[in-house]
Amino acid sequence: MADRTESSILIAAPPHEVLAVIAEFNDYPQWADFKAVEVLSENDGGWAQEVEFSIEAGLIKDTYVLDYDWAFTESGEGTVSWDLVRAGALKAMNGSYELTAVDLDGAPEGVGTEVIYRLQVDVRIPMLGAMKRKAEKMIVDTALKSLSERVVSGD
């Protein structure tokens, strides 16, 4: 993935709990900036395969579908990645969450999760690369903070 944005966060919960929040797409409108989210299909393991997202953030309104790949261990460590299938304003949206167990004081059972979020977005309208990276950085940082808050709150 060329020209992508990457950031990380430590979450005071084990990887399987973080993975459970990531996989519960129907709850995304409660904690992430989505108007609606719908799982369109699942893979043989029962994990979401194609997911449709509707977003309305200021002037940005779009509906897009992502195709997911789930590669993780029983403990929840591993990678969840996605690629854009179709969209209106977007030309590309590819990314991943990489979950790794870490020793973390204050976390349940002393185990936390390092989450690395990588994202590459391209839009159909002309936009300077620096502006695109700044928007990606804002999306990534907001998503990681929201994910952490959702996991730790247990909602």
In this predicted model, which residue has the larger pLDDT, 81 or 141? 81
Percent of the chain with pLDDT strictly greater than 70: 85
What Rg do the C-alpha atoms of the chain give, in angstroms? 15
pLDDT higher than threshold 60 for residue 1: no
CB 99 within 8 A of CB 79: yes
Instruction: Kindly report, residue by residue over 85-104, the tens digit of the pLDDT.
Output: 999 878 888 999 999 999 88
Q: What residues are paired with 92 via a beta bridge? A: 122
Instruction: Kindly report, residue by residue over 38-52, the tens digit of the pLDDT.
Output: 999 999 999 999 999
Predicted structure pTM score: 0.86
Helices 15-23 and 129-153 cross at an angle (nearest 10°) of: 110
Ordered domains of the chain (ranges, CATH): 5-28+69-153 (3.30.530.20)
Residues 129, 56: Cα–Cα separation, whole Å: 23
In this predicted model, which residue has the larger pLDDT, 1 or 16? 16
pLDDT higher than threshold 60 for residue 59: no
pLDDT mean across residues, the chain: 87
